């Protein structure tokens, strides 16, 4: 527990936990209003095809059925990855399309009074297609761009460069190179995508959605519908997980348009298969890393080329590409860098945000490359890291925000000792089993300060007459207890129990603007905004209490106390020189005619880096290629853990996702662009029986700008897992696998190649 605090640094149980584990917690699909039309989206069966005709005659014979097609829909093109007007991301998507660009593209919407009728009517539609060649090969996608989109854009490039990389390579003692390939990933949130839209009086459309950026949804829907922002109301509803899959506007524009067109509430809820086929993925990548080294094994320069599979629509993929490049100089000291990348569109499910926003891909490439170059050159991978990792107080040479209290070396050294690296680093053999250990380092950000995007949170906090408080915020609770964290921070500032602070989630027509729960800004930016709001409310209370009590006062554990003896005639304001907080609020309202309510707008002046190192010990069966994780340790630089229990929970979940990326998960497509996994029978998650016990060590050295020194953990928790596993597998087997996932088939094939056809 953090010293000197009442609530911060303590394990605080989630107030919604009991209802969630008992299945009593209401999600959007549990609260569909009476009379709402149920929408079933008609998804393309083709990867690239023109919809010639949709025969709706049989469907319309069913009572109450309405079928909406591309001919009915707005032709406005938009980019679902935008979250603020003026970002000008390339628009290439419409709510419904007559040119299906991937299996799962939206080509029609069936509405009916109930779900059964809606699904039955959808099954009665007859769709006629004109097939076009799919764009299935990532390396050929730029040359075939015209087959998918008529906008003539082959790819979307991005570049970051500083120093003189050409000179660094020309003068290098050694140059090492590796190419790493990462796969498309499904977010696998427990709650599939859902949205409810309701037409309201005055031409307002109300959208209820478990989203991550409500003002982004408002912006995109207003653009599609041709409405002013003030007539699009978005309410963030309880969410059963997102991991970035609900960050972008996916179903909301379609549902809002359907509600306005029919004049009735419309609910669209997808199945797991529909969510996999039609929403968002983590982008697949092909990354080439070249490193110039000096005679001492220090990095003199680095050149990286990255090719990203954006899927059928651009969405936020170019932002992801640039985020990848920005991570590179924040982990290792790189005097000269050239990062060049491009996003191409293919006949596959669109990519977008997915926990880490490019960090899992770029760190997989960089950390596998680090281990392989050390092996080839005979360098110690630990010494190489310690020689090249950044230091506290370092600057980002690309011009981004300073690194802050960067404790990556402390994470590494702490983890090495706790893991017993010296005793585990050499691979072992036992029959057909090979055991090995590996580790990987990583970094991630804390918001948008000093990027091309602005960062802003607005909140208000009101103290109530019974001593409790309401914090009105733009927070989006994603299942990570973000609201509980804000309550804990506000309670610390006010000196009251966290259970007395109610945190309200987002409503675009009632809340101050907030850019959303993205970029790992939750605790660092929004948490600090909550602290400032609570501090301002406390200051207002004390100013008003001084008038009541006749002298200077202080707030002490839910009690307002005079600093000296009560002045004469102060009996009406407490007499003994102390008032319970709620009673003080009540008297302030009655006698001073004042409300104890603070309004705060916070824009951060820092964007430090969070850091982590994960260690893994595993065994590989050389006959089957199966991998068993035997030991797992995660060490994270978090500044300060507001709720250590919650921080550990984030790390456990992050490791589970990272193990899936490393070993089992992949959204693959055949040469015709057809998905090879449509449900969890073919898309293999790491389940409870295969999860290792995850040991966690938190490095808490404080961070300027964060509430009580706290900084992010939610996204970074998954970033180093896959490369740590990859390095352990390669170390155990002597292989140089660089393609994810490290499936049994891929491992056995690599062993056969290494051993001339023999695996054990």
pLDDT tens by residue, 609-653: 999 999 999 999 999 999 999 999 999 999 999 999 999 999 999
pLDDT at 143 over 90: yes
CA distance 217 to 233: 9
646: which residues sit within 8 A by CB, 6+ positions away? 12, 14, 480, 481, 484, 485
CA distance 654 to 480: 11
pLDDT tens by residue, 666-715: 999 999 999 999 999 999 999 999 999 999 999 999 999 999 999 999 99
pLDDT tens by residue, 309-328: 999 999 999 999 999 999 99
Question: What integer pLDDT is reported at residue 457 of this predicted model?
Answer: 97
Angle (nearest 5°) at CA 613 between 607 and 619 = 150
CATH code reported for the domain at 281-449+606-754:
3.30.365.10
Angle (nearest 5°) at CA 431 between 427 and 433 = 50
The domain 32-132+193-269 is placed in CATH, from the list 3.10.310.10, 3.40.50.300, 3.40.605.10, 3.90.1170.50, at 3.90.1170.50
In 518-609, DSSP assigns E strands to 553-556, 559-562, 578-580, 597-602
Burial of 115 (0-12, 13-18, 19+ CB in 10 A): middle
User: Confidence band (pLDDT; 50, 70, 90) for 572?
Assistant: very low
pLDDT tens by residue, 446-498: 999 999 999 999 999 999 999 999 999 999 999 999 999 999 999 999 999 99
Copy the structure tokens of residue 60: 């319309």
Angle (nearest 5°) at CA 323 between 320 and 327 = 140
Query: For the chain, percent helix, then strand, then coil, each to nearest 5?
Result: 30, 25, 45
Q: Nearest-CA neighbor of 665 among 650, 649, 677?
A: 677
Question: What integer pLDDT is reported at residue 1 of this predicted model?
Answer: 44
The domain spans of the chain are 32-132+193-269, 281-449+606-754, 456-602
User: Confidence band (pLDDT; 50, 70, 90) for 4?
Assistant: confident
pLDDT tens by residue, 724-753: 999 999 999 999 999 999 999 999 999 999
How much of the chain, in percent, has pLDDT values that exceed 70?
Answer: 98
| Residue 172 half-sphere exposure toward CB, CA atoms < 13 A | 23
pLDDT tens by residue, 267-289: 999 999 999 999 999 999 999 99
Round the average pLDDT of the chain to a whole number and report it.
96
Phi, psi of 491 (to 5 degrees): -65, -40
Strand partners, 695: 633
Q: Look-up: residue for tokens 């996702």?
A: 657
CATH class of this structure's domain 456-602: alpha beta
pLDDT at 509 over 50: yes
Q: What is the CA radius of gyration of the chain?
A: 27
pLDDT tens by residue, 204-234: 999 999 999 999 999 999 999 999 999 999 9
In 354-500, DSSP assigns E strands to 428-430, 433-444, 457-463, 469-472
pLDDT at 244 over 70: yes
Asked if residue 245 lies in contact with residue 18, where contact means CB atoms within 8 angstroms, the answer is no
DSSP at 30: G
pLDDT at 569 over 90: no
CA distance 522 to 647: 13
DSSP at 507: B
pLDDT tens by residue, 650-664: 999 999 999 999 999
pLDDT tens by residue, 579-606: 999 999 999 999 999 999 999 999 999 9
* Matching fold, domains 281-449+606-754 and 456-602: yes
């Amino acid at each position: 527990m953090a010293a000197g605090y009442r609530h911060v640094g303590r394990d605080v149980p989630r107030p919604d936990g009991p209802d969630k584990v008992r299945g009593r917690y209401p999600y959007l699909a549990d609260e569909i209003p009476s009379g709402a039309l149920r929408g079933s989206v008609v998804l393309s069966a083709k990867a690239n095809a023109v919809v010639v005709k949709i025969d709706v005659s049989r469907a319309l014979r069913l009572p109450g059925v309405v079928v909406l097609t591309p001919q009915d829909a707005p032709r406005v093109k938009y980019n679902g990855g935008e979250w603020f007007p003026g970002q000008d991301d390339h628009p290439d998507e419409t709510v419904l399309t007559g040119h299906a660009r991937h299996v799962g593209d939206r080509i029609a919407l069936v509405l009916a009074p109930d779900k059964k009728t809606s699904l039955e009517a959808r099954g009665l539609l007859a769709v006629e297609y004109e097939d076009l060649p799919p764009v299935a090969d990532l390396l050929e996608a730029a040359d075939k761009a015209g087959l998918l989109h008529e906008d003539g854009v082959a790819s979307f490039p991005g570049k970051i460069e500083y120093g003189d990389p050409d000179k660094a390579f020309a003068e290098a003692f050694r140059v090492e190179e590796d190419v790493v390939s990462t796969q498309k990933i499904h977010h696998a949130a427990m709650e599939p995508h859902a949205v409810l839209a309701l037409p309201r009086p005055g031409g307002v459309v109300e959208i209820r959605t478990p989203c991550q950026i409500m003002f982004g949804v408002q912006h995109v829907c207003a653009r599609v519908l041709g409405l002013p922002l003030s007539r699009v109301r978005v309410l963030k509803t309880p969410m059963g997980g997102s991991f970035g899959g609900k960050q972008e506007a996916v179903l909301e524009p379609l549902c809002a348009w359907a509600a306005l067109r029919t004049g009735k509430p419309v609910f669209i809820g997808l199945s797991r298969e529909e969510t996999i086929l039609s929403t968002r993925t983590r982008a697949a990548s092909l990354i080439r890393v070249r490193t110039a080294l000096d005679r001492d094994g220090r990095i003199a320069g680095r050149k990286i080329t990255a090719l990203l599979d954006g899927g059928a629509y651009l969405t936020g993929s170019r932002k992801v590409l640039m985020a990848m490049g920005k991570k590179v100089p924040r982990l290792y000291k790189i005097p000269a860098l050239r990062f060049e990348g491009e996003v191409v569109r293919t006949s596959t499910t669109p990519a977008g945000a997915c926990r880490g926003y490019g960090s899992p891909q770029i760190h997989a490439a960089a950390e596998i490359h680090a281990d392989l170059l050390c092996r080839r050159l005979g360098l110690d991978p630990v010494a190489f890291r310690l020689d090249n990792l950044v230091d506290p107080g370092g600057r980002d040479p690309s011009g981004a925000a300073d690194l802050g209290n960067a404790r990556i070396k402390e994470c590494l050294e702490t983890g090495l000792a706790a893991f017993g690296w010296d005793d585990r680093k050499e691979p072992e053999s036992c029959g057909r089993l090979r055991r090995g250990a590996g580790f990987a380092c990583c970094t991630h950000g804390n918001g948008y300060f000093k990027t091309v995007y602005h960062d802003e949170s607005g909140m208000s906090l009101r103290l109530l007459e019974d001593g409790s408080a309401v914090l009105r915020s733009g927070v989006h609770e994603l299942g990570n207890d973000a609201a509980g964290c804000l309550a804990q921070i506000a309670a610390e500032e006010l000196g009251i129990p966290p259970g007395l602070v109610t945190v309200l989630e987002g409503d675009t027509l009632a809340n101050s603007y907030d850019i959303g729960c993205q970029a790992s800004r939750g605790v660092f930016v929004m948490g600090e905004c909550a602290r400032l709001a609570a501090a301002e409310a406390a200051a207002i209370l004390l100013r008003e209490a001084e008038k009541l009590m006749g002298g200077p006062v202080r707030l002490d554990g839910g009690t307002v106390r005079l600093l000296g003896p009560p002045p004469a005639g102060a009996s009406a304001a407490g007499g003994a020189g102390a008032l319970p907080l709620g009673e003080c609020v009540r008297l302030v309202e009655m006698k001073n005619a004042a409300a104890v309510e603070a309004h705060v707008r916070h824009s951060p002046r820092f964007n430090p880096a969070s850091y982590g190192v994960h260690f893994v010990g595993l065994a590989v069966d050389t006959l089957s290629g199966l991998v068993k994780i035997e030991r797992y340790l995660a060490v994270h630089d978090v500044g300060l853990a507001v709720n250590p229990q919650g921080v550990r929970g984030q790390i456990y979940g992050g490791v589970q996702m990272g193990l899936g990326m490393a070993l089992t998960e992949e959204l693959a497509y055949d040469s015709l662009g057809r998905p090879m996994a449509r449900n969890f029978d073919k898309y293999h998650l790491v389940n409870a029986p295969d999860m290792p016990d995850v040991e966690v060590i938190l490095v808490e050295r404080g961070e300027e700008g964060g509430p009580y020194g706290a900084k992010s953990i939610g996204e970074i928790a998954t970033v180093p897992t896959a490369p740590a596993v990859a390095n352990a597998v390669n170390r155990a087997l002597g292989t140089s696998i660089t393609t994810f996932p490290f499936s049994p088939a891929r491992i056995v094939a690599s062993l056969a190649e290494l051993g001339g056809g023999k695996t054990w």
